[in-house]
Chains A and B, each alone.
Chain A
Amino acid sequence: MTDPASEDRKDTMVESAAGQAQTPADAKRGPAVATRERRQGAANPSGETPYLVVEDLTVKFPTADGLVSAVNGLSYSVPLGRTLAIVGESGSGKSVSSMAVMGLHDPKRTKITGSIRLGGDEIVGLPENELMKVRGDAVAMVFQDPQSSLHPLYTVGNQIVEAYRVHHQVSKDVAKKRALEMLDLVGIPNPQRRFSQYPHEFSGGMRQRAMIAMGLVNDPKLVIADEPTTALDVTVQAQILDLLNNLQKEFGSAIVLITHDLGVVAEMADDVLVMYAGRCVEYGTAEDVLARPRMPYTWGLLESIPTVSAANERLRPIKGLPPSLLNLPTGCSFNPRCPYKDRVKGERCTTDLPELLPVDGAGAHTSRCHLHDKASIYEAEVAPRLG
């Protein structure tokens, strides 16, 4: 961040971040809880005490064609100060699962089971008036398209003030001061003037900064960033990612970053969770997943990144289409598109759903694949293609 004003504020920010790390809820959680999580595969790869714990989360929508399972048995956890990237194609359930963390699904149209805990407090099943208190306060969301996600008829300042006053009983002037401070913090020049402008008077990058300012105005412990850079120019993307990184250092919040851009993952993430057709197919630290991936779908994702050195080569897409959530393939959901399924003996790929198991028998890096010699296939066949 290039903004000098934020430097002055850093001290107080660090303080508040330290305060967050020791929430009473965190302190209360005994070792018993931790072991249970590990058994269920929810332990996060870092081994730190997580702030957000998602366990066996299932989100189903009843539709005219039947029950759609958008998310199926998803478990993950994120400690304060760490960034988890959830990667997957459209319809893989990455946004749906994080909307569940925000409690944004209409309870009448959604069936959510499993557990989502924020600092130890259960979110699933909370009534709307309790969820309201959590949304925007402990958890904030930064959405994909700031153009459509900001209200076009209210000034940017007004919207930030509103976000602050929902959770703080303060006068408009106090809230305005806070909003100006946030605008400044996210690197918006001339906050005074920008405060009273409308979203359409902002550029795309500035809008996303304003969106971030609005999300962080209540000092949330968890920020869910749903493809925060997808709608932006490439150069602006880098700035926004830097901003998120710096703000995380200052606020010490946990970040769940939803993206399909592995470049963003490499830059931002501490941990990576790869989703396919509503299920987690690979989960580990960013280094594990990006450098030692152990699942053909992850390989496909990595291979599909265009490289500069291979400028004349054709792009290498993952062949086929994501499956319909109404009619998932039997066995491994990825099997119709998997180029390696012949290496598995028998018909296991098409009959048995592989479990999410540690890739080396014990560690925190897990993947969902029947292949026996994942490591050697990757090293021998996939890695050379990645260059």
Chain B
Amino acid sequence: MIYFVARRLISALSVVLVTLIATFALFFIAPTDPAGAICGERNCTQQRYNEIKQNLHLDKPKVQQFAEYTAGIFAGRDFTTSGVTRHCGAPCLGFSFKNDRPVTEMLTSRIPVTVSLVAGYAVLVLTIGVLVGSLAAKRRGTMGDRVLMSSTLVISSVPYYIVALMISLYLTVLYPILPRGGWTPPSENIGKWAAGLVTPWLVLGIYFCTSYARYSRGSMVETLSEDFIRTARAKGLSDRKVTYKHALRAGLIPVITIFGLDVAASLAGAIFTERIFDLPGLGVLVLDSLNSYDLPVIMGTVLVASVVVVTMNFLVDIAYSLVDPRVRLS
């Protein structure tokens, strides 16, 4: 177990490092001109332009820039602008080009929003999706199965942003049946927090549970035809116990993988949902920083995203070994 964790940690770190290098290369080596962007088009003198470049260490070799950036993450670093030195504590991701705020602070203020959104989504999508899938698998070939499965197809064949936009427009603005989306920290007012999130949760949950319903239906249909299910029935167990204890446990395993990666992906980029429902999460931050070439922020979000993906993969592996004793952590 310790060996397993250590090995996974090393491989996780190397994945994060490679992602960092790749992002760094893309944005800092590619023909972009951050100093020029900061300097602006008007009032930009050559002297000011050079000064900015110097302050940001953009005149240094790329390798040194990367080393300084990486060192900043672990040890913090100092930035000197026009003679004023600012300390950026570890984990330092630099200062935003756009508004000069520390990137770390910007990220940490956004993370609770996205985590709240994704947590609710994850719970909904898993419970509704697996429930619908198991029900359909149980009634395979019947009218109920067909109705359930075709409705999942209908829902998921409309692009997500259209569904979300329509619901936001019609059900929260025009006919305010659902509360409008918005962000209130849960520490401030837990009721308001939930109210602002409930619509995006529902929209995300209902839209994306359709694919879970189909995964789990397939997996459950396969599991229900296994020999050990016949054994369970031959023991005299009730149909419900056979389906929701014996079959579900085995049928869930393939769904876990998809779930883990899906949660990771939505943590890193629930862009549409955050934009449409006015939630200041990571996705919106990425979008804004991309629009304004705010490279430190882009780097920061990419770093967070890669850490999230690697962590979720790790958690999926752990979950696997908990559910399936045949999977050894080695």
Contacts and interface: CB of A to CB of B under 8 A. Distances in A.
B324 A149 contact: no
A41 to B, nearest CB: 28
B231 interface: yes
B239 interface: yes
Contacts of A136: 234-237
A321 to B, nearest CB: 26
B231 A143 contact: yes
Given A198-B325, A200-B326, A151 B230 contact: no
Contacts of B246: 151
Nearest to A211: B231
Nearest to A150: B228
Given A128-B239, A143-B227, A145-B227, A152 B324 contact: yes
A319 to B, nearest CB: 32
Contacts of A163: 235-236
Interface string B211-238: 0000000000000001110111111111
Contact of B230 (A134, A149, A166, A211): A149
B249 interface: yes
A104 interface: yes
Nearest to A198: B325
B228 A166 contact: no
Interface in A134-160: 134-137, 140-141, 143, 145, 148-153
A104 B230 contact: yes
B147 interface: no
Nearest to A138: B236
A104 B233 CA distance: 7
Contact of B236 (A137, A151, A200): A137
B323 A153 contact: yes
A356 B3 CA distance: 68
Contacts of A141: 231, 234
A162 interface: yes
A102 interface: yes
A8 B5 CA distance: 49
Contact of B235 (A128, A135, A152, A200): A135
B195 interface: no
Contacts of A152: 228, 250, 324-326
Contacts of A166: 235-237
B232 A151 contact: yes
B323 to A, nearest CB: 7
B233 A135 contact: yes
Interface in B236-250: 236-239, 246, 249-250
A137 B231 CA distance: 13
A132 interface: yes
A123 to B, nearest CB: 13
B235 A162 contact: yes
Contacts of B237: 132, 136, 162, 166
Interface string A258-276: 0000000000000000000
Nearest to B226: A148
A131 B139 CA distance: 20
Interface string B247-258: 001100000000
B242 to A, nearest CB: 10
Nearest to B324: A153
Given A200-B325, A200-B326, A151 B235 contact: no
A200 B233 CA distance: 21
A141 B236 CA distance: 11
Contacts of A133: 236
A149 to B, nearest CB: 4
A151 B234 contact: no
A143 B234 CA distance: 10
A221 to B, nearest CB: 14
A151 B250 contact: yes
Contacts of B227: 143, 145, 148-149
A222 to B, nearest CB: 12
Interface string A145-184: 1001111110000000011001100000000000000000
Contacts of B230: 104, 143, 149
26 contacts: A102-B234, A128-B239, A132-B236, A132-B237, A132-B238, A134-B236, A135-B233, A135-B234, A136-B234, A136-B236, A136-B237, A141-B231, A141-B234, A148-B226, A149-B230, A150-B228, A151-B231, A151-B232, A151-B246, A153-B323, A162-B237, A166-B235, A167-B236, A200-B325, A211-B231, A214-B235
Interface of A: 102, 104, 128, 132-137, 140-141, 143, 145, 148-153, 162-163, 166-167, 198, 200, 211, 214
Interface of B: 226-228, 230-239, 246, 249-250, 323-326
Given A135-B234, A135-B235, A136-B235, 5 more contacts: A133-B236, A143-B234, A148-B228, A152-B326, A198-B325
Which 9 pairs between the two chains have the least Cβ-Cβ distance? A136-B236, A148-B227, A136-B235, A135-B236, A151-B228, A149-B227, A163-B235, A141-B234, A198-B325
